[in-house]
Amino acid sequence: MKKNVNRRIFSLVICFLCLMLPVTLSLSGCSANGTTDSVTLYVYNWGEYISDGSEGCLDSNKAFEEWYYETYGVKVNVNYSTFSSNESLYAKLSSGSVSYDVIVPSDYMIERLIDEELLAELNYDNIPHAAENLLPEFFGETSVHSDYDPGNKYSVPYMYGMIGIIYNTTVIPEDEPNLGSWQLMWDEKYEGNILQFNNSRDAFGSAQYFLGLDVNSDSDEDWRAALEKLKEQKPILQGYVMDEIYNKMENGSAAIAAYYAGDYLAMYENNSDLEFFYPEEGTNLYVDAMCIPKCAKNKEIAERYIDFMLTEEPAVANAEYTYYASPNRVVVESEEYIEYMGEIKEDAYEKMYDTGSVATSTYRNLTGDKLLLINTLWEELKSDVTVSGAIYVMCGIILAVLIACAVASYVKKAYRRKFYVSK
């Protein structure tokens, strides 16, 4: 028996050593790398929001690392991570447990971060390309889209776009009367085929646009009305998702979803049955901009990172990768870019930059009590689950059987005890 135990242990140890081997090897490799001085730049961006080197495109972060090393002789290591909603970005940032150097929130979140003094003022000496390359309507004193940060003291626009509704033409017929309207998202015919945003602001926004309410409303009733609309929609939804939408729309798991315009083209590339429109009741125009949080450890490098992303090569690569509309002159005027967009889809360029065909508005930061209210209402929506009768019946049966078993075994034991005692 002893021998058997020893063998087993021996084989376990061998296994463990095999597993450790790569670790020790790579650890030694790691320390070799670690000896050179390098700075880590923490970048926190939306998912799928930067050219990442796949399929032969430019890897913007790598390009920055190389460019920085060549220009300044310092090794910078970009630690790039992604979030899927402004709210989760805010949570991470305000918890104070992690620090980032560059973040890319949307307009209303930038306003909130400025209000709460979480952003650092930018030094434009390090970002010369901002004034040079950005379109005047998006940057500086002339900007009409920077209400969230007048004069762009804290933020440099990265991409912009509008929310539209994506639908699958194999499921939704051409003569569907609700095409062109938010009503499509509430159409019971397509029960189980509709996806809604899994973040409070965009989800409430969709209901507010549909109802013709102000998305920055001051009145509690407006928000409650939107909640009721969303509750009404919940039973016919397939689910609340964010970036999972790509796979679901591409493989036909869902047929209707509201999402950001640029992402539509990314899906269209993989499934040409998908079509897209901006709802006539009006929709949201958002600007995502690069900012530096106060807690940033390498502000100067972060500014140079922002500047680098405004230069032609990475800016065009990013715009081509994300398909979002770019506020950058060098992108919009680039022949290569326009041609590229045309190849993806004939009207892609026009669609992405079409800010005039429907009424648009932007989300603004809300007062503290409204933010709290949205949070509460969102919780109310998410926790609004119905326990169907079938589930009650099943649980009832299970509990009944359990109780019956317990009683039976108790009775049996009592009987036996009596039996043996009497014997």
The span of 26-34, 145-153, 283-291, 301-309 binding other proteins (CB under 8 A) equals: 26-34
Q: Which residues contact 58 (CB under 8 A, 6 or more apart)?
A: 51, 313, 314, 317
CA dihedral 304, 306, 310, 314 (to 10 degrees): 90
Q: Which residues contact 353 (CB under 8 A, 6 or more apart)?
A: 325, 332
Interface with other proteins includes 275 (CB under 8 A)?
A: no
Partners of 161 in the β-ladder: 286
State how beta strands 283-291 and 155-168 pair: antiparallel
The span of 1-9, 211-219, 277-285, 323-331 binding other proteins (CB under 8 A) equals: 1-9
Of 220 and 380, the one with the shorter C-beta distance to other proteins is: 380
Distance of alpha carbon 166 from alpha carbon 270, whole angstroms: 14
Query: CB of 129 within 8 A of CB of 329?
Result: no
The span of 85-93, 284-292, 316-324, 357-365 binding other proteins (CB under 8 A) equals: 85-93
How many residues bind other proteins (CB under 8 A)? The answer is 80
Sites for other proteins among residues 185-214 (CB under 8 A) = 192-193, 195, 198
Of 43 and 310, the one with the shorter C-beta distance to other proteins is: 43
Of 141, 175, 188, 385, the residue at the interface with other proteins (CB under 8 A) is 385
Interface with other proteins includes 116 (CB under 8 A)?
A: no
Interface with other proteins includes 375 (CB under 8 A)?
A: yes
CB of 278 to other proteins, least distance (A): 23
The span of 40-48, 149-157, 205-213, 326-334 binding other proteins (CB under 8 A) equals: 40-48
Interface map 395-414 toward other proteins (x if CB under 8 A): x--xx---------------
The span of 127-135, 211-219, 248-256, 311-319 binding other proteins (CB under 8 A) equals: 248-256
Which parts of 234-323 fold into alpha helices (H)? 245-250, 261-270, 299-310, 312-322
Of 116, 176, 228, 243, the residue at the interface with other proteins (CB under 8 A) is 243
Query: CB of 104 within 8 A of CB of 85?
Result: no
CB of 96 to other proteins, least distance (A): 6
Letter string b/e over residues 223-233, b meaning 16 or more CB atoms within 10 A of that residue's CB: bebbbebbeeb
Of 8, 153, 189, 224, the residue at the interface with other proteins (CB under 8 A) is 8
Interface with other proteins includes 246 (CB under 8 A)?
A: yes
The span of 113-121, 308-316, 330-338, 384-392 binding other proteins (CB under 8 A) equals: 384-392
**SS3 label, residue 42:** strand
Sites for other proteins among residues 307-366 (CB under 8 A) = none
Of 75, 180, 183, 239, the residue at the interface with other proteins (CB under 8 A) is 239
Of 34, 56, 96, 356, the residue at the interface with other proteins (CB under 8 A) is 96
Cβ-based neighbour number of residue 367 at 10 Å: 10
Of 136 and 396, the one with the shorter C-beta distance to other proteins is: 396
Interface with other proteins includes 259 (CB under 8 A)?
A: no
CB of 201 to other proteins, least distance (A): 13
Q: Which residues contact 142 (CB under 8 A, 6 or more apart)?
A: 136
Q: At what angle do helices 86-94 and 200-211 cross, to 10 degrees?
A: 140
Of 28, 31, 386, 422, the residue at the interface with other proteins (CB under 8 A) is 386
Query: CB of 245 within 8 A of CB of 195?
Result: yes
Distance of alpha carbon 309 from alpha carbon 306, whole angstroms: 5
Q: Which of 117, 116, 89 is nearest to 103 (CA)?
A: 89
Of 194 and 352, the one with the shorter C-beta distance to other proteins is: 194
Distance of alpha carbon 171 from alpha carbon 313, whole angstroms: 40
